[in-house]
Structure 1
Amino acid sequence: MPASSTSLIPTPRKSAIDMPSPKLHQHQQQRNTKNLGLRLGADLMSASCAASMVAPLIAVIDRSIMENASGRSTVSNSLKSSFRTLLLRPHALIFSKPVALIFMVYGGTYLTANTLDTATSTARNQPATHVTTGTPKFAASSAANVGLCVYKDQFFVKLFGPSGPPRPVPLPSYLLFTMRDCLTIFASFNVPPLLGPILTERMKPAWQKTVSGTTVAQFAAPAAVQILSTPVHLLGLDMFNRPATGGRGVPWGDRWTQVWKNWAVSTAARICRIVPAFGLGGTVNTKVRRNLMESLV
């Protein structure tokens, strides 16, 4: 029986260009790109929610610390004035430049940490809810927070510093503000994920049902580090408030006396600002992001 005519037609072979590369296929398999655009949107939304919640209170406390250090007002009088404005004319405070600057600082910091987590989960083919704790996160979050804080501080010291003609912020103040922010960032982003599981193991079972060790660490670590970072902050402010004149600088003994004079009240105020900034704000950012990411799975 004659062979079918179709059997005489040779089957075309796929060229090397047409056939998928095993290495390329394996490389694609190693990336989690599912809903990547929506995941980045979730990073932005969670950062914005957290920053909007804490910005007004932090702006009020930052103003009181700087006015107290410059001698323009005491912490208590400055807080009373700001809260009076919030009560009688809330729009004047909420939509003010200081609040916008604080929103920029913490929104940008949270967003940097979030997008780094998303980039890591994408590159390493991990779940969208993955949270990193290593050096890259500290470096990225510190860079964002320090850069934004330095930009914010140059406005705050001029708005709420000593009266007189405007002058530039000296380099030593910038360096001290950078050191202050690095301490806070490390305690806020790197310590809680590491310390949280240890605290959870040591917590009583009844407590574990209501709060996790990570949540406790998220509030405690940033607050505790203010004991060390507040003198650094005050020294930076003093170098701006009392610059060297006539080629003669202020004696270091006088500077440390001024720092010690304001240390207790300023530490208390900075703990009150850091708890919402990286405690409440960090918790809100983490939980909102996790819930949004879980909904995208």
Structure 2
Amino acid sequence: MQRSDTPLVVHKRNTASPQNAHLFERVAADFAAAVTAAIAVTPAICMIDKSIIENASGRRTLVASIRDSVTQLITRPHNFFLSRTFGLVAMVYAGTYLVANTTDTFLSYRGGNQDITEVTAGTAKFAATSSTNILLTLVKDRNFARMFGVGLSKAVPLPTYALFCSRDSLTILFSFNVPPILSKAIPDGVGGMSSLSIAQILAPASCQMLSTPLHLLGLDLYNRGGRLGMKQRMHAISVNYMKSSLARICRIVPAFGVGGVLNSKCRYHMMRGIEDRMRNERAILG
């Protein structure tokens, strides 16, 4: 009896933990989903980010800047897609989506019996995605401020870095952690969308009303230095607040709304395919 029981124990150990199999394949799916979503949303984000900085610096209006970017995209698409501007924005969102995806994958892997398509909303995911997004966005914003600001290129002051970090932490919180919680209060099927997809669009968009003043103050400190009083800075922020907020909503909807939905959908379908293959392998093995 002991000998006949032994193969059963070994057989169970080899097949009962599908979550611990195909880890490399799952990470590859995370990467593919992240890059696909980032490339899809980067053109719109490029145009809007550039226009906001040029408008804040007084270099060009929002409309003039976006018109110039659209013209380049249509008439010289190779220059647009191979530009430093496109590369910097794509780097930010591909990196952020990838860290969010792989965090979910490794949490599922460690759990051993969780659904590999699950999207989490815990502290670990917030810490990983926010730190990655803040670091990559600071690299992007430092380059954008120098490329599209006014005057000679100069060092970005520490208060500007601090304000940008606060801005990005809010954005990440509302983009990755709030939607799974908010979706519980939203009925499925509204507009033909799932509750999570709706939350992934609404949460980061509404966040921009809170984070735009931080963004504008950071840009003002970079463009005009620290010689002005708070009253003057608040006036500059109030003048640009509404149009900049609307512009940032227009950029955040593709960035973490549409991009977030696309990333989640791509990851879900690829992970589901991996799970189906694992199930078939277990069936073949008996």
TM-score (norm 1): 0.85
- When the two chains are superposed, the root-mean-square deviation of aligned CA atoms in Å is 1.8
**3-state secondary structure, aligned to 2:228:** coil
Matched, 1:187 2:169: no
What is the deviation of 1:251? 0.6
Cα contact 1:31–1:122 (8 A) shared by 2: no
Query: Partners of 1:43 and 1:234 in 2: how far apart?
Result: 34
Amino acid at match of 2:206: A
Percent identity reads: 45
Matched, 1:171 2:171: no
> Of 159, 164, 176, which aligns to 2:147?
159
What is the deviation of 1:211? 1.3
Matched, 1:124 2:102: no
Number of the residue aligned with 1:276: 254
Query: Partners of 1:139 and 1:79 in 2: how far apart?
Result: 33
Number of the residue aligned with 1:225: 207
List aligned pairs for 1:196-235, cutoff 5 A.
196-200=183-187, 207-208=189-190, 210-235=192-217
List aligned pairs for 1:238-249, cutoff 5 A.
238-244=220-226, 249=227
Structure label with greater radius of gyration: 1
Per-residue displacement from partner, 1:110-163 (whole Å, max 9, x unpaired)?
A: 00000000100000012221221111111110000000000111100000001x
Query: Partners of 2:33 and 2:198 in 1: how far apart?
Result: 20
Number of the residue aligned with 1:6: none
Amino acid at match of 2:212: T
Cα contact 1:61–1:273 (8 A) shared by 2: yes
4+ residue runs of structure 1 moved beyond 4 angstroms?
Answer: 28-31
List aligned pairs for 1:1-297, cutoff 5 A.
32-125=19-112, 126-162=114-150, 164-200=151-187, 207-208=189-190, 210-244=192-226, 249-297=227-275
Amino acid at match of 1:178: C
**3-state secondary structure, aligned to 1:225:** helix
Query: Partners of 1:268 and 1:209 in 2: how far apart?
Result: 23
- Structure 2, unaligned runs of 5 or more: 1-5, 276-286
State the number of aligned residues.
Answer: 264
Amino acid at match of 2:204: P
Query: Partners of 1:263 and 1:90 in 2: how far apart?
Result: 32
What is the deviation of 1:78? 0.6
What is the deviation of 1:208? 4.9
Query: Partners of 2:60 and 2:138 in 1: how far apart?
Result: 23
Amino acid at match of 1:65: I
Amino acid at match of 2:73: L
What is the deviation of 1:187? 0.5
TM-score (norm 2): 0.89
**3-state secondary structure, aligned to 1:296:** helix
